[in-house]
Amino acid sequence: MAADCTEPGCVPRHVAIVMDGNGRWARQRFLPRFVGHEQGMQTLLRVLDACAGRGVRYLTVFAFSSENWKRPEEEVSGIMGLVLAGVAKYLRKLASEGVRIRVVGDRAGIAPKLRAAWDEAERSTVHNTRIELTVAFNYGGRWDIVQACRQAVADGLAPEQIDEAALAARMALAFAPDPDLFIRTGGELRVSNFLLWQTAYAEFYFSDCLWPDFGSAEVDAALAAYAQRERRFGGVRPASVAPQGA
């Protein structure tokens, strides 16, 4: 296997996933949407395990977008409760499995109880290195760019000091390399304001599979598709580079 995760045939270092399709999964079964979200949480644990087992270093998942507040109050509060219960139920297990947890997104407007649970999740897994799970919650790609700009201003940067590196260092995922592979489940072919800045050169993979049905076989299919891609980052195909002296 190639050493560099951008080489053909390799495992992506960083996988980002828009976990979509919970509501439709529930509707197909005449169940409330909440049940789809519950099932979606189980899927996340499964997919995390599969990714860690395949050598993925960073898994970043979209759990609640800046725009998801537009949903009915009942669904929003159901999701909040589910996440809170999920931390209580699974934190110990994840911590003992070597998972480092981070939550990114706008914490303003999130209930203090949930914020405290996240702080605890982050604190208690800070030394873990097997895989880094980042949960994007009340996150939006545009929010991220704006908060990085604000931070640059607050840090006293002059306009000529604001460049790509200065903003990248202030983005919510500054600790991680940019995602190599961007997966969206649920059949929609859009980004929905996920990692706008960070996906400049990500490889995209769209699956019709609804998130609660996603599993290790689907992870393997996505990784296999990624392994076939030839990433160029605006350069030329290696084979078409003229040999030296030609």
Give the amino acid at 211.
W
d(CA 60, CA 50): 14
- The terminus-to-terminus CA distance of the chain in angstroms comes to 31
64 makes contact with ligand IPE (CB under 6 A): yes
Kindly write down the DSSP assignment for every residue of 182-199, as one continuous string.
EEE-SS----TTSSTTTT
The residues near 71 (Cβ < 8 Å, ≥ 6 apart) are: none
> From the CB of 163, what's the least distance to Mg ion, in Å?
35
Buried b (16+ CB within 10 A) or exposed e, 66-80: bebeeeeeeeeebbb
79 makes contact with Mg ion (CB under 5 A): no
216 makes contact with ligand IPE (CB under 6 A): no
62 token code pair: 């979209």
Q: Which stretch binds ligand IPE (CB under 6 A): 17-25, 140-148, 195-203, 232-240?
A: 17-25
**Active-site residue, from 68, 106, 128, 193:** 68
18 makes contact with ligand IPE (CB under 6 A): yes
Q: Would you call 68 a catalytic residue per the annotation?
A: yes
Q: Which is nearer to Mg ion, 74 or 122 (CB)?
A: 74
20 makes contact with Mg ion (CB under 5 A): yes
186 makes contact with ligand IPE (CB under 6 A): yes
180 makes contact with ligand IPE (CB under 6 A): no
Place of tokens 């760019």: 145
Q: Which stretch binds ligand IPE (CB under 6 A): 63-71, 98-106, 112-120, 150-158?
A: 63-71
The 8-class DSSP code of residue 7 comes to S
Interacting residues with ligand IPE (CB under 6 A): 18-24, 62-65, 68, 79, 186, 188, 190, 192
Residues annotated as catalytic are 20, 68
